[in-house]
Structure 1
Amino acid sequence: MWRLQVHIAQGRQASVVQFSALKTILATGQFKNAGHTSTLALLAQGCAGCAKPTSKCESDSDQMPAAKRARTLSWKAMTDVDQVVQTLRFLPAREPGPHLSAADSRSPMSLFKLFFTESAVTNLCHNTNAQAARSIAKGRKYKWTDVSVDELYRYIGLVFYMAAVKMSSIADYWRQDSLFSLPFPATVMPRDRYRIISWNVHMSHPDADKENDRKRGTAQHDRLFRIKPLMNTIRLACKAFYHPRRNLAVKERLVACRANIGMTAYMKAKLTKFKFFVLSDSSNGYTVDFSVYTGKNSFPADRGLSYDAVMSLLDRKLLGSGYHVYMDDFYTSHKLLTDLFAQKFGACGTYRDQRKDFPKTAANSLSRSSGRGSIRWIRDGPLVCVKWMDTQVVSVCSTIHAAYTGERVQRKIKAQDTWKTKSFPCPAPVIAYNQHMGGVDLSDQLLQYYTAQHKTMKWYRKIFLHFLDIAANNAFILHKELHGNMTHDQFMEELIAELCGLSQKAAPKQFSTDHVPIPGAELTSDVRRIATVGRRICVHCKAVLGKKQQTPWKCKACDVHLCLQLNRNCFQEWHKSL
């Protein structure tokens, strides 16, 4: 016979573990004594002194506010063992990677056209022509002919060419009197034509813009109206042709702009900038999705900009579940990480100590005297908060990792005037954060190598240029995933050549400046004989037409006589064959 002594103190609540055990004993019927049975039944029905059912007592700690729980917890040391509450299964909605046939050989331009489709460029041409007509009606003095789809692709090719070959101004690309003259842009389109297209390129129809502008100040006004047609096309393409791998990164991307329209973010000692919230694949920097910051009330959920920005980018139906999302301290909050975990998304990020619901207790915490490599952690349900002493305290929280699993990092330290490499313990969330947050940094690096950004007067043209950057960068990553036989330089060269209607293998012909017409003999002072002195048979007329036409002109470099008349330009025809 088991003997059990139960002490009941008024106003004192028994522990959850004790009452759970009592319920089990009562259910198994191990006690036959009626007194014992009645006592256990009473305890199982409610806690002593509180008259609450046991199930409610068990959930009291869960119902306690997160801030209160954080204050009651104390920091644990590296030697204490931590375990992840639940490991999420990775169940993507589609097979991760490019959703294009690897057997088909795809050119850079065909991949770029996945994002800038011909239908999207046709719409762009329509709106650009309408904008130019509107500008001319307002009194702008320039000659305009409607831009075609092929011409707009050539224009985009020149934009990328200028991103690869840097000059101080647009006009310098067409200068022919300089040591640094570039022959290529003039073979694609004239300088004035390029400028006029740049002034008028438009993503929405001007008449629809006017209608939207009349709603300014009301709930019906759409701040992104001028960029939405193209933005929606590119966002859909980013999601359609590639499904991300497990590790994702969320970060902001800034595009410099001098416009003051209420949608830009002010950065101290920097230009005003447009802010993009970007979701990228950490493995290669592919831009999976993005949104544009339009002010404090960007998102209808109104749970805070950082919370809503992340939630708007993570679509469980589209992505699947079990993804690991990494973010910096701008986004990380206790509520965001716990809500993501409830939706089957793991998350990890640096956090700010003053943020709501994060541990603020000083019990056993790190101090200024803590040695490098010291670790403290607190687990609150699925969320673990870790502090690590590097050169300064690093605060990271995660719903994916255990606090410390034995990893170490190398750091250089100075001892006796010499630098030595020493190994220090490092928390698992810190190592994973450093590894996977590089995805957005990689994406930004690829964009900066060949960024199409240049000065423009209109804010929406700045965003148009950034859309070009996103399309070219994602096209390069798709090409690398499918074929992997081109560097970034080679990819951009081939893309520019194809957009401009040229073959990369057949580079544009470069004529020497010595190929100029000069008189065939020294000029005489007798004006009556100027047109006849030095006349010789044109080599082109004789070789091609079989005629002996005489001309006073010859080529300085070739030293052959060639006709140069309004109705017979043998000089030009001859040099075409060189």
Structure 2
Amino acid sequence: MSLCRSIQGQGYKLFVDSFYTTQHLAEDLLRDKIYIIGAVRSNSSAMPSVFKQSKDWEKVVGRGDFRWHRNGSFVYVQWKDCKCVTLISPLHKGSDVTTCYRTIQSRKTWKKSITKQPLITSDYNAYMGGVDKSNQYLNKYTSYIRTQNHWWKVLFFHCLDIMIVNAYILFTDFVSKSPELFGDSEFSSSLGQLEFRENLAISLMKVKSFNCKPEPMLHLPLFLSKRAECLYCNAEAHMNKKKLPSRKVMSYCSVCKVPLCCSVGRNCFYVWHSDTTVKEYVSTNERLKKRKIEDIS
């Protein structure tokens, strides 16, 4: 009530969420000539007793059907959309009806259909427009693109809007706390959400695309059609000036294209890829470099 002192006695309409709607609040505001229009929860004190068993009524009615009840100065309207919605108002008539569009499924496609809607519901949707700041920011500017049968696009653009709004809120908070970090602090502090979105789009368009090379494929052991000498064994012996072991193997690396031992007793394949000492030695030795397998399909 203390939040409404500045508008008492002036005939304002106050649209509230179901979280705030109670019978006592509606009556107290009406005495101060503030007319509350709000959604009513099933367990709220503002829910009339005749609407308590709404589940039974919901089962037998179709989409667009509604009922209303008057109690003193207030009218209560219950409307069946996807689910039952109950609203309270001291200004509306229960019988006032308008229409709205709803998307319904017709066999294989979705189509728009005209559905009856109580006038109180239409006004509530029109003027509610975001109870909290998050809803207000999201409803003011949106990236939503109207699509048909692509619900995931709607979800994607809604998540995109949420991220932009969060970035804008953090930006304004940062500017207010550290204005000295911005050259034109007056411009930054007065930057609205639309200007923020425009600057964000311009900055993203300036970012150059990077031609990243694809990550190399996994090094996997493959098999030869004929035996070849293990390059790691020969290179290790060559480094230590020992006699070449001349171990012939059938396996080789799919990326390095070199024959390597790959067995339980001797796993040169693992050592070759984990220890770069021998690999670097091979790269500097022309004789050993020629031992790479060519034209392996």
TM-score, structure 1 as length reference:
0.25
TM-score, structure 2 as length reference:
0.46
Bigger RCO (CA 8 Å, 6+ sep):
1
